[in-house]
Amino acid sequence: MALLQISEPGRKPAAAMHKRAVGIDLGTTNSLVTASCGSGVEVLPDEDGRQLLPSVVQYRKNQPPVVGALAKATAIDDPENSILSVKRLLGKSRSEILSQNPFIPYQFDDSREDGAPAIVTVAGVKDPVQISADILRVLRDRAEACLAGELEGVVITVPAYFNDAQRQQTKDAARLADLRVLRLLNEPTAAAVAYGLDTSDQGNIVVFDLGGGTFDVSLLSLQRGVFEVLATGGDTNLGGDDFDRVLCDWLMQSSSHSGTLSHSKRIELLYLANEIRHQLTDEESVDVSYGDWTGKLDAELFTELTRDLVNRTINTCRRVLRDAKLTVDAIDNIVLVGGATRMPVIRNAVAEFFGKSPLVNIDPDKVVAIGAGIQADVLIGNKSEDNFLLLDVNPLSLGIETMGELVEKIIPRNTTIPVAKAQEFTTFKDGQTVMSLHVVQGERELVSDCRSLARFELRGIPPMVAGAAKIRVTFQVDADGLLSVTAQELSTNTKSEIQVKPSYGLNADAIEEMLESSRDHAQADMESRALKEAQLEATQLIDALANASKVDGELLRAEEASRMADVVARLQSAISDGSSNQIHALSEELNQVSGDFAARRMDLTIGEALRGHSIDEIEHSKDE
């Protein structure tokens, strides 16, 4: 029975309250906040009408931090306390950051034993989470001023290739900024939401997202309101900043500049390069001056200078298509996302590779934030979730270490998330009461070739013979791409679980290296896995025969024992130095040599079980 609302005669029914939820694009170069405002989702401006917030934070002594355009302007004079591109610092160790950018102007706190990239400023030590939180606070205040009230939820976008550490630190930053995160949404998926709900396009869509500091390519299937990510790839260390650095190198080389630039001069040069790059978006050539040198940069030369960077983006597109098992002809539309996609060199390369012009209907700087705002409006309850369904994927396989240092993949890469998958395992030794679980990430067959995520133990397993216990291991990846792992012994329901929150993540090169390595070593990995499995099975066979001989040695004839010992010796030698085929052949020979002994043991066991029972009793039990 449904409940009915009763109103006073003549009184208008109360309007449903619109909950305040926003979408945030926390970008490397610029950040934005959006919300549903009447006819659609709009980018919320600050008090001066500016929509883009430069993702720069300047720290001052005994004063609140400065965030945005003013901080960006003062970064030249105060580089040590003005933090740019903090998104590139998330989820990484200090050594990783310095190896990727040796000219970084910040002073890191070397007293941190964990290697965390905490930056020493005049306002104290700040880590990337705190710096990101300061940016988010400004966006929160802007949204609450525009919407005239406190926010009830937020959707924050992240690169599709962000790993667990980077996603978790993004959520931690939001928590510090007093924001309730409804979901972390992959940036390419957010772009698809923005386009998919505003057009009637259906089919396979490539979202090409080149921002200031990160790059993603996602291949999505859009059918009847369902957004499914078929494959994804990218590089968290490739963006417009890298094109600027190429121009910086060209400027220094052209002007015959020698020596090392100060941090202030380097930032000033980066700003100049960025300005030149933006001018080339609208013009065929640009007059350039640096110091006493003057020259000209045209589109043809810029194309040549940035050829390697552009090729990296196109090669990623090739890998994504290969992962999805699709050809270029199967792609219906290409969506460009991120300010760096305004460069003609990028648009031309994308159009040439896919054989069609990309979509640019929505401002590429705003499309991700708009998609996040649409999703926030749905998740907070202002719109029906039946309008559309988001199906994201995890970028790398997740698995567990098994005996022999092998990887058993539980959730393969490009699996739709959220997802939960379980698999049963068992004990390897008699009487084993503890199981150590090692969670890994990667595409290779051996643990040593994958990345370790976490370790934990399941205790309280009832002592049984090897192989009798049933341990169910469940991997669960939530909508934000965060992983939890549970292990449960089924007879007693003893359980242990862990939330995987690694301190630092993989850099983009490591991710790409893992994928390339899995393809390059596929044959060798399969051969190595086959050898390891053969070694394990042979070892278990030898141990089982040794235990049987110890328990029922009187059933073993001298000739059989001698032949078994000979085969066991040859098999043990093959386990150490032989091939999987040789091990399988000797294992089969050992099974044949010990076959009569095994049969006598079985006859003895059956005889013991039937002792004291009549044929009639046995037949009666069968009938029942």
Catalytic residue numbers read 25, 87, 187, 209
620: tokens are 């009666």
In degrees and rounded to multiples of 5, residue 96 shows phi and psi of -65, -45
Helix (H, G, I), strand (E, B) or coil at 111: coil
Q: Dihedral sign, CA of 106, 111, 113, 118?
A: negative
Closest listed residue to residue 209, CA positions, set 231, 230, 187, 227: 187
CA distances from 56 to 70, 73, 488 (A): 9, 9, 47
Exposed/middle/buried for 385, CB within 10 Å: 0-12, 13-18, 19+? exposed
Angle between helices 187-196 and 367-379 (to 10 degrees): 80
How many Cβ atoms from other residues are within 10 Å of residue 296's Cβ? 9
340: tokens are 């760096």
* CB-CB contact of 477 with 486 (8 Å): no
Measured distance CA(389)–CA(377) in Å, rounded: 13
Backbone dihedral region of 115: left (phi > 0), alpha (psi from -120 to 50 degrees) or beta?
left
Q: What one-letter code names the amino acid at 59?
A: Y
245-281: buried (b, 16+ CB within 10 Å) or exposed (e) per residue?
Answer: bbbbebbbeebeeeeeeebeebbbbbebbbebbbebe
Contact residues for 90 (Cβ-Cβ < 8 A; gap 6+): 128, 129, 132, 162, 165, 166, 169, 170, 505
* CB-CB contact of 7 with 368 (8 Å): no
Q: Is the peptide bond before 79 cis (omega within 30 degrees of 0)?
A: no
